């Protein structure tokens, strides 16, 4: 096997957590279209295998992994090395939205759960991935999923916001540490993206809780009146996504498509039956758009929710073409964070 500068000349390898659905699945497909072999990791092995079934002309390895478990993450990276002998790109996308509740009413266990998946899980993944990347890739790159909630606070989502702000700090620290060795580390912050996780969150009542907490004159004196609304359990994935997990990305702990609801008015949650029926990004987008536009309440300058593929294309660019970009975060939010927040947001 020929090599350049000591590295294998075979196809590059991209590992995606929360690859079973949503943003993670879209990223796996786009990396494959760019010629990369794929490791599709998700807390839901069946979902990861479904993603691999959609990938043609390159090899795809489906791996079951809960990113909060160091032994499972180590096994994921070991399987990557055994199968492909290298790791060039890692998209750590698994994550969960958690529950909506004010700080004083949020159970400590729930706060810890969200941080465990959305921040600690990324740290665990990077610890396992970096040694293999430095040893086997000529131009390694890592992208983490943050959120617009990592730029702007949203009432009722303290744990989620803290985890996503933390992701951006982790990215900057790693970029400084590994830049001299050629490893680039960035993050992407999605806005409201049309994934099953978004509809699941709305259907669960989470949107109502956030709305209640942000309405003018709302009181937080009665925790019972602002009871936490549990989002679908996942590590970012279509099932909810985190994985790997629920936001767009899979288990009772979610994965990518981290749910990014800050730019939508969440008053009108679709019925759970409708949520479960929305399986494609197109139908999910239509449902989310309809839910938000009925009363002219969509708070996005581009006047629509985003598609998983629009986040994925940014991730692929950062990994494969953004060779002078590191330590930064790219907002893909339709302009949501350009707006001046009001009391009704």
Which residues are CB-neighbours of 101 under 8 A, at least 6 positions away? 107, 110, 156, 209, 223, 226, 227, 228, 229
Give 101's DSSP letter.
B
Residue 246 in tokens: 């629920």
Long-range contacts of 173-180 (CB under 8 A, 24+ apart): 174/126, 174/142, 175/326, 175/327, 175/328, 176/327, 178/130, 178/134, 179/326, 179/327
3-class secondary-structure state, position 41: strand
Helices (H) and strands (E) in the chain, counts: 11, 11
CB 55 within 8 A of CB 280: no
What is the spatial distance between Cα 341 and Cα 137, in angstroms, rounded to a whole number?
43
Euclidean distance between the first and the last CA atom of the chain, given in angstroms as a whole number: 57
317: Cα within 13 Å, side-chain hemisphere: 11
The candidate with the shortest Cα–Cα distance to 119, out of 254, 308, 313, 316, is 254
In degrees rounded to 5, what are phi and psi of residue 142?
Answer: -125, 140
160 flagged as catalytic:
yes
Helical pair 158-178 and 121-136, crossing angle rounded to 10 deg? 20
Question: Catalytic one among 89, 160, 178, 324?
Answer: 160
CB 4 within 8 A of CB 217: no
Residues classed as catalytic? 160
């Amino acid at each position: 096997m020929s090599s350049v500068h000591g590295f294998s000349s075979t196809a590059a390898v991209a590992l995606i957590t929360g690859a079973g659905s949503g943003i993670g699945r879209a990223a796996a497909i786009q990396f494959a279209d760019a010629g990369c072999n794929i490791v599709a990791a998700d807390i839901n092995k069946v979902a990861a295998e479904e993603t691999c079934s959609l990938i043609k002309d390159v090899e795809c390895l489906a791996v079951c992994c809960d990113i909060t478990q160091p032994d499972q993450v180590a096994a994921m990276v070991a399987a990557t090395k055994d199968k492909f002998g290298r790791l060039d790109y890692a998209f750590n996308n698994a994550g969960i939205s958690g529950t909506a509740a004010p700080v004083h009413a949020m159970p400590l266990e729930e706060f810890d759960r969200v941080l465990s998946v959305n921040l600690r899980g990324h740290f665990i993944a990077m610890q396992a991935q970096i040694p293999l990347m430095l040893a086997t890739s000529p131009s390694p790159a890592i992208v983490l999923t943050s959120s617009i909630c990592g730029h702007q606070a949203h009432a009722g989502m303290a744990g989620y916001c803290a985890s996503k702000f933390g992701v951006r700090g982790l990215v900057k620290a790693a970029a400084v540490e590994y830049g001299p060795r050629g490893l680039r580390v960035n993050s992407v912050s999605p806005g409201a993206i049309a994934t099953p996780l978004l509809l699941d969150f709305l259907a669960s009542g989470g949107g109502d809780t956030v709305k209640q907490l942000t309405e003018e004159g709302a009181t937080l004196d009665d925790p019972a009146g602002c009871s936490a609304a549990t989002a679908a359990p996942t590590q970012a994935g279509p099932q909810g996504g985190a994985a790997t997990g629920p936001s767009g990305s899979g288990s009772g702990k979610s994965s990518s498509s981290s749910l990014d609801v800050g730019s939508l008015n969440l008053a009108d949650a679709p019925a759970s039956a409708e949520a479960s029926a929305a399986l494609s990004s197109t139908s999910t987008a239509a449902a989310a758009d309809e839910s938000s536009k009925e009363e002219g309440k969509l708070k996005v300058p581009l006047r629509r929710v985003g598609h998983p593929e629009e986040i994925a294309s940014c991730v692929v660019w950062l990994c494969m073409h953004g060779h002078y970009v590191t330590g930064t975060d790219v907002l893909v939010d339709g302009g949501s964070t350009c707006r001046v927040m009001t009391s009704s947001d």
